[in-house]
């Protein structure tokens, strides 16, 4: 069930972040950090094979994607999502313990990579920027 953030900004429409993460501790941390600091709804999918259907069911304003997912890898999920013209432009934030396995991207591509473990403040700042359609500088 999607979660709604506690802090409300009435001037903005509700944004939606889909979190593809199989580690329940990390998924909970992400949901709690987002709920505490941003006005967005979140939903977690723990199996990569279910992510394309979740994206098709409700187009996210941001997809947070772990690369090491059961079912389908994060890279396979990204290929499927990017191949669908209706979802090719969805911003993606890849969170991975193996940044050398992350997909390469151009500076203008709506994709960023953050290494686990991550700095929570930097992560929330990146999420906030990407949800609002701003691309943080590529690391």
Report pLDDT digits (tens) over 91-127: 999 998 887 787 776 656 788 899 999 999 999 999 9
Superfamily of segment(s) 3-131: Response regulator (3.40.50.2300)
Confidence (pTM)? 0.86
Q: What sections of the chain are H helices per DSSP?
A: 24-37, 51-57, 74-83, 120-131
Cα–Cα distance for residue pair 111/1, rounded to 1 Å: 26
**pLDDT the model gives residue 135:** 79
**Domains of the chain, residue spans:** 3-131
4 pLDDT higher than 80: no
Distance (Å, rounded) from C-alpha 7 to C-alpha 121?
16
What is the rounded CA–CA span in Å between residue 107 and residue 22? Answer: 28
């Amino acid at each position: 069930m999607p979660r709604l953030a506690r802090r409300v900004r009435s001037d903005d429409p509700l944004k939606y972040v889909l979190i593809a993460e199989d580690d329940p501790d990390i998924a909970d941390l992400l949901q709690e950090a987002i709920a505490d600091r941003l006005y967005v709804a979140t939903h977690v999918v723990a199996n990569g094979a279910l992510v394309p259907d979740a994206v098709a069911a409700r187009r996210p304003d941001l997809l947070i994607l772990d690369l090491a997912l059961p079912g389908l890898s994060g890279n396979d999920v990204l290929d499927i999502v990017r191949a669908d013209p209706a979802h090719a432009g969805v911003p993606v934030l890849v969170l991975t313990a193996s940044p050398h396995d992350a997909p390469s991207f151009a500076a203008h591509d709506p994709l960023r990579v953050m290494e686990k473990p991550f700095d929570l403040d930097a992560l929330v700042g990146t999420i906030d920027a990407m949800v609002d359609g701003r691309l943080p500088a590529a690391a």
